[in-house]
Amino acid sequence: MSEGRLNGKVALVTGGGQGIGRAISLRLAKDGANIAIADLSLENAESVVKEIEEMGRKAIALEVDVRNRERVRDVVGQVTEKLGGLDILVNNAGVGAFNPIFEIEEKELDLQYEVNVKGLFFALQAAAEYMVKNGGGKIVNLASQAGRRGEPYALSYCMSKAAVISITQSAALALASDKVTVNAVAPGVVDTPFWVEVDKKFAKIQNLPVGEPKRRVVESIPLGRIEQPEDVANVVSFLAGPDSDYMTGQTVNVDGGNVLS
Ligand SMILES: NC(=O)c1ccc[n+]([C@@H]2O[C@H](COP(=O)([O-])OP(=O)(O)OC[C@H]3O[C@@H](n4cnc5c(N)ncnc54)[C@H](O)[C@@H]3O)[C@@H](O)[C@H]2O)c1
């Protein structure tokens, strides 16, 4: 039973207003942590806060665009002030982009870099600074199977998620002596609003009916079913808790067997 093993801990989850971030927030609350949810959508963040409060934990919602470095620093300050500390950061906020190679515009590359790479780094940097001064902590980044391999219609997204794996390794080494561990998860095809959009985009690119691209990728997953947000949350819970204390710099594939490494 994991319940209670994060009692007294404070976790900040970026992009926690829906999808995987919501499932992670609920799971860490079930483990005993109080949760700060920082999202572009304050409305979604507030709705997850209500769910967490119903579980008897403290939770706060904060509006953030992780591309705004000053705002990210401010959010970390507000979390430590309102919830009394910061022990866990889950760097989950992210966006996708899917286009054939000759249709990739500069603004697509910029957006992937700004949100998935720079935004993730801003949160990591601000949280780690607090953790180093306060005895340590745990950082978990959301990478993707797309960061492990190339994909024909996801060049910019793959690029950004490969960078997340690289940041995880360098930050882990930079922070190890200060008792901050940095790990990542690499999910596969997860049943969230994100994949509804991917499916529509792939249907257009490949001239297939909506629903068909998703059906095909799910059919090819070795474990034979689409991934649920809770499948990711279970592993994040492990990486955020004491059972992973001797792990750092790792990216754990949570993808039903899609990528073997
Ligand atoms: N769904 C998948 O199949 C899948 C697979 C692998 C990795 N991932 C990664 O997992 C993470 C969550 O994905 P999801 O499927 O839940 O996506 P989602 O689109 O359902 O949710 C993403 C959340 O991030 C927030 N967000 C987006 N841009 C932001 C910004 N600039 N600042 C703050 N918040 C922002 C959104 O408001 C939203 O709440 C992402 O990093 C994604 O790349 C998803």
Ligand 1 atom nearest the C-alpha of 227 is: 3
pLDDT of residue 261: 80
pLDDT of residue 120: 99
226 lines ligand 1 (CB under 6 A): no
Q: Quick one: CA torsion of 43, 48, 51, 57, rounded to 10 degrees?
A: -120
pLDDT of residue 1: 45
Using the mean position of ligand 1's atoms as its centre, give its distance from the Cα of residue 184 in Å. 14
pLDDT of residue 22: 98
57 to each of 13, 15, 36, 50, 88, how far by Cα in Å? 15, 19, 11, 10, 16
pLDDT of residue 175: 98
Residues 6+ apart with CB under 8 A from 247: 181, 183, 239
Residues 6+ apart with CB under 8 A from 79: 10, 12, 36, 60, 62, 86
What's this model's pTM, rounded to 2 decimal places?
0.98
Give the chain's domains with CATH numbers. 10-188+228-252 (3.40.50.720), 189-226 (no CATH)
Q: What is the mean pLDDT of each run of 10 residues along the chain (261 residues)?
A: 85 98 98 98 98 97 98 98 98 97 98 98 98 98 98 97 98 98 98 93 95 96 98 98 98 97 80
